[in-house]
Amino acid sequence: MKHLLPLFFILAIPALSIAQQRPNILWFVVEDMSSHFAYNGEKSVKTPHVDRLANEGVVFSNAYVTAPVCSTSRSAMITGMYQTSIGAHHHRSSRGKEKIFLPEQVQTIPELFKEAGYYTCNGSVEGRVGKTDYNFVFDSKTLYDGADWSDKTKDQPFFAQVQISGGKHTNSVSKDIAQNLYTPVKIGDFQLPPYYPAIDAVQEHWAAYLNTVQYVDHQVGKILKRLERENELDNTVIVFMTDHGTSHVRGKQFCYDEGAKVPFIVWAPKKIRAAVRDELVLHIDMAATSLHFAGLKIPEYMQSRTLFGKQAKPRDYVVTARDRCDETVDRIRGIRKGNFKYIKNFFPDRPYLQPCAYKDAKPFMQPLKDYYAAGKMNTEQALIFAPTRPAEELYDLSRDKWEIKNLASDSAHMAKLVEMRNLLNGWIEETDDQGQTPESETMYDSDMKVYLNTMYRLRNKKPGRFEIIEKNISQMKQWAKEGK
């Protein structure tokens, strides 16, 4: 790959005497959740434990994921690389016979920590093995030493990820969740974004989602108490973030802020002063930042940047990329510089809401489609339900935080449009964005076979899903033949 430089290998630490001086590194990675914690200004929830991390740590108020869907976001996170640069940009790819391998010089973050004498673990609050979901081949038996740090040797530092299901619980609030809410959020306690109509299905879903935010806080509190009990907290650097935004219509899978902008906190009171920093950062920056705090060399090929220390270098812009999600073929790129967001839709003749079995199964989706079909939506609400989309979108976030007023056709903003367009085109070339080349039909069919087989096994739990996916696959192939 033309942008990768030779790897400067980190030598394994032969004895623990050096590693003992290094801090533990712990990542909280929450699924399907936007910036809706109390410290973000969400008044309907109580999140004292996450607020503590925010109040005592460094809050990055403009943090973005490089991909607004889990597997691609996690593939980037665990390598410190854009998923588009390592060929891991299609959601749930490399699951079938056709495989994706990391470039030879790219190592995962757990491998780098393990070589340095760290105990590596990936688990959950419940003590189970944690989610990986990487879109490339890796050895699940050797990448992590365990689900948590219980079996590490005495004084050995650990690199841990605590995976929290978060917004995944929105559609099924369990008894445990219900019993551990500070004050249950109800309809009327919150204000919806203006692009969502306040129909029952949307309000009920949003209330349930905000309750999962409170449950995440409860789970974070359990881990913090464990660290305190084991006298590990003072020597632990904590990064708190989500893998992408909430799984709603304009959220997950899209490059709008609801799907791409995430909470991001670095907590290390013994090492850094509490602050709120407004510069643009990417979620992959947690990789280099963690290596920095551990005193480990940051590989020169890595696109992640440390946010602290002498090597810290502010980003001029951030890029979010969406490609195929399950059976649904798409390519969207979003870039933010300053207060402007530019979005390029590479399939403008297709609707935003292409057929997608996963998203169409959401309880709010059909009621919203019916509401649109009945002509009841206002202009703002109807934007994403349009049968086609503009090739380019431009938003001034200082005046339009909801990304509703597209300025791409406004002559007064032509210079800014050209600037942002050129900036994105430059990034595509500089980072070797592999989305420029369509996914081969062989690779697509390989992954779709696994997806269909899974849905066939779940046909009793999810009736009709198998047939819907088959139909959607046919639609994707037909549109490709038509050049649409």
Closest CA to 212 of 256, 244, 180, 248: 180
Encoded amino acid at 50, one letter: V
CA dihedral (273, 340, 438, 100) in degrees, to 10, reads 0
CB of 169 within 8 A of CB of 212? yes
Cβ-in-10-Å burial (0-12, 13-18, 19+) of 481 comes to: exposed
In the residue annotation, 356 being an active-site residue is answered as no
Encoded amino acid at 34, one letter: S
Active-site option among 70, 121, 255, 325: 70
Please state, in angstroms and rounded to a whole number, the distance separating the CA atoms of residues 212 and 248: 14
Cβ within 8 Å of residue 119, ≥6 positions away: 145, 146, 149, 151, 152, 153, 156, 157, 158, 159
Half-sphere exposure of 161 (CA within 13 A, CB side): 27
CA distances from 242 to 15, 40, 149 (A): 35, 14, 22
94: left (phi over 0), alpha (psi -120 to 50) or beta: left
Helices 441-457 & 465-482 angle (0-180, nearest 10) = 160
| Token digits of residue 439 | 């996914």
Please state, in angstroms and rounded to a whole number, the distance separating the CA atoms of residues 386 and 367: 16
Closest CA to 218 of 264, 165, 274, 148: 165
Cβ within 8 Å of residue 161, ≥6 positions away: 26, 27, 29, 121, 122, 123, 130
Helix (H, G, I), strand (E, B) or coil at 292: helix
CB of 356 within 8 A of CB of 385? no
| Token digits of residue 190 | 């919150």
Closest CA to 250 of 197, 210, 212, 214: 197
Residue with tokens 């057929």: 355
User: Could you give the residue numbers annotated as active site?
Assistant: 70
